[in-house]
């Protein structure tokens, strides 16, 4: 893909393991990449690539900014809050559910999901992380049913 035919991917979670590997793959395959991150994110995994991508610090600009300023063809959302650092449940929900829903409202949306989906699990046995991810999947399906967006869940 060259010139005007290049497709643009908005990538969340680029500083994490999965996101950083996807970033490298997207760049190797000639995609333009826009990275959403926090201004205080540790970028050691992607330092060599930061000069080749557009970066938005989402704690400093509205989430709508990258969508208003760029033609985004795909959104790949790998950012998540596992609750490993003692975050409150509200913080996990704000990140995994509400942030994801806001992305969904702004775009045709692709989601990577780490929740193993079995209908035999009861909610009381799920951690806050997996519960928030499962709830997002249900909301995402609800949005997709309107026909206004396309949702791909990669489990």
The whole-model pTM stands at: 0.74
Question: What residues make up the domain containing 27?
Answer: 3-154
Q: How many domains does the chain have?
A: 1
* Cα 129 to Cα 113: distance, rounded to the nearest angstrom: 11
Tell me the mean pLDDT in the region 28-49.
97
Q: Give percent above pLDDT 90 in the chain.
A: 48
Strands 32-37 and 54-57: parallel
Residue 60 has a pLDDT of: 98
Whichever domain contains 48, its CATH number is 3.40.50.720
At 55, is the pLDDT very low, low, confident or very high (cuts 50, 70, 90)?
A: very high
Residue 136 has a pLDDT of: 80
Tell me the mean pLDDT in the region 113-124.
53
At 155, is the pLDDT very low, low, confident or very high (cuts 50, 70, 90)?
A: low
pLDDT tens-digit profile of 58-98? 999 999 999 999 999 989 999 988 888 888 999 988 988 89
* Cα 118 to Cα 109: distance, rounded to the nearest angstrom: 23
């Amino acid at each position: 893909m060259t010139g005007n035919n290049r497709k643009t991917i908005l990538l969340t979670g680029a500083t994490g393991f999965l996101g950083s590997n996807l970033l490298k793959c997207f760049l190797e395959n000639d995609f333009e990449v826009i990275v959403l991150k926090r201004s205080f994110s540790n970028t050691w995994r992607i330092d060599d690539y930061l000069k080749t991508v557009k970066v938005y610090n989402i704690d400093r600009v509205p989430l709508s900014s990258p969508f208003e300023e760029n033609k985004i063809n795909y959104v790949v959302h790998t950012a998540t809050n596992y609750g490993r650092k003692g975050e409150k449940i509200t913080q996990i929900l704000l990140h995994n559910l509400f942030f994801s829903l806001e992305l969904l409202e702004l775009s045709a949306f692709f989601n990577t999901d780490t929740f193993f989906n079995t209908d035999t699990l009861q909610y009381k046995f799920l951690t806050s992380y997996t519960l928030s991810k499962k709830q997002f999947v249900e909301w995402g399906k609800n949005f997709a049913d309107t026909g206004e967006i396309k949702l791909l869940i990669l489990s």
